[in-house]
Amino acid sequence: MRKPLKLLSRRIVKALVPRVVLNIRSRLRLKNEDRPFSSVPPKEIFAKVYAQGLWGGSDIKADFYSGCGSHDPSVVDPYVKSIRTFLGKLSTPPVIVDLGCGDFYVGNQICDLAKEYVACDIVEDLIQRNSNRFRKSNLRFVCLDAIDDRLPEGDIVFIRQVLQHLSNEQIAKIVAKITNYTFAVITEHLPRSMNFKANADKPAGPGIRLGIGSGVVLTEAPFSLVAMASTVLCEIEGYGGVIRTSLYQLRAAGD
């Protein structure tokens, strides 16, 4: 009974503590999580995140692990199903650019539907590991910094739970470049509340905005992405919020 009683006690305390205090505590936690990476270039940040296992580990003790959000079946399976349904409706197989492909556990389950799948990540050792582990005729891995480097050409860009780890300034640089794709498939971890304040800024690091009651929404300021059409492909409740995958059509097909 100890564990249920302990959990109940935490809920009671949380209910009694004023929300403003909880918000301050959450902001301090996020700040402390990202503080060790202050003024560190993104390439070094995410190399350290993987090297130190800051997004957790796995049962198979993988050398690189992109976190529960990239391995938990309750999160991954609905996502993969929705993406395969979307891709299956296209008239021709697209060229897909995956920014922040991570350990490629998710991408490996959808790349067969692409004419070409360009899997990109900023961590050089991770890209080398993926290149050695996953070999398919339509698949290639590229090490690049999506913030500052030129992005590969393609029809669709996937950005899955990547932007949430970056600052607003860094996100804005990426958003300015993804308008060259016909479709953008963006996945972000958001608060459950419909009335949250979008795009509260944070420094780049392993933490996300969820703890401060915010999340990345590209169609809101300061990014204000303009889309011809948009829809929610997939939405999963879990990990304290909602993991939402949105499809944005940015250009007319064939342009």
Our measurement of the distance from residue 111's CA atom to the centroid of its chain's CA atoms, rounded to an integer in Å, reads 17
Beta-ladder partners of 118? 97, 140
Give CA–CA dist 75/187, Å, rounded: 11
Residue 73 domain flag = yes
Residue 58 domain flag = no
Mean pLDDT of 65-94: 96
Write down the pLDDT at residue 23.
Answer: 45
pLDDT above 50 (res 26) = no
Mean pLDDT of 229-233: 98
pLDDT above 70 (res 62) = no
Percent of the chain with pLDDT over 90: 76
**The token pair that represents 133 in the structure block:** 């582990």
Residue 6 domain flag = no
CATH number, domain containing residue 82 = 3.40.50.150
Residue 10 domain flag = no
Residue 42 domain flag = no
Summarised one tens digit per residue, pLDDT across range 129-153 is 999 999 999 999 999 999 999 999 9
Q: Please, which pLDDT band fits residue 34 given cuts at 50, 70 and 90?
A: confident
User: 159 or 39: which carries more pLDDT confidence?
Assistant: 159
CB 147 within 8 A of CB 174: yes
Write down the pLDDT at residue 194.
Answer: 87
pTM of the model: 0.86
Give CA–CA dist 209/203, Å, rounded: 10
Give CA–CA dist 196/91, Å, rounded: 37
Domain that holds residue 148: 69-249
Contacts of 118 (CB under 8 A, 6+ apart): 95, 96, 97, 98, 140, 142, 152, 154
pLDDT above 90 (res 10) = no
Instruction: Among 31-35, 157-161, 205-209, name the one with the lowest average pLDDT.
Output: 31-35
Write down the pLDDT at residue 57.
Answer: 67
Q: Please, which pLDDT band fits residue 24 given cuts at 50, 70 and 90?
A: very low
Where are the strands (E) in 122-178, listed by range?
139-143, 156-160
Q: For the beta carbon of residue 136, count every other beta carbon within 10 angstroms.
A: 11
Structure-derived torsion over alpha carbons of residues 50, 172, 208, 200, reported in degrees to the nearest 10 = 160
Half-sphere exposure of 131 (CA within 13 A, CB side): 13
Residue 129 domain flag = yes
Write down the pLDDT at residue 63.
Answer: 79
Summarised one tens digit per residue, pLDDT across range 166-221 is 999 999 999 999 999 999 999 999 999 989 999 999 999 999 999 899 999 999 99
Residue 57 domain flag = no
User: 30 or 162: which carries more pLDDT confidence?
Assistant: 162
Give CA–CA dist 110/99, Å, rounded: 14
Per the structure, the count of domains in the chain is: 1
Q: Please, which pLDDT band fits residue 56 given cuts at 50, 70 and 90?
A: confident
Give CA–CA dist 212/222, Å, rounded: 18
Look-up of token digits 């971890």: 189
* DSSP symbol at 152: P
First to last CA, the chain: 62
Strand 183-190 relative to strand 139-143: parallel, antiparallel, unpaired?
unpaired
Residue 38 domain flag = no
For the chain, the average pLDDT equals 88
Write down the pLDDT at residue 37.
Answer: 84
Nearest to 106 by CA among 140, 71, 133: 71
Nearest to 197 by CA among 168, 226, 170: 168
Give CA–CA dist 46/189, Å, rounded: 18
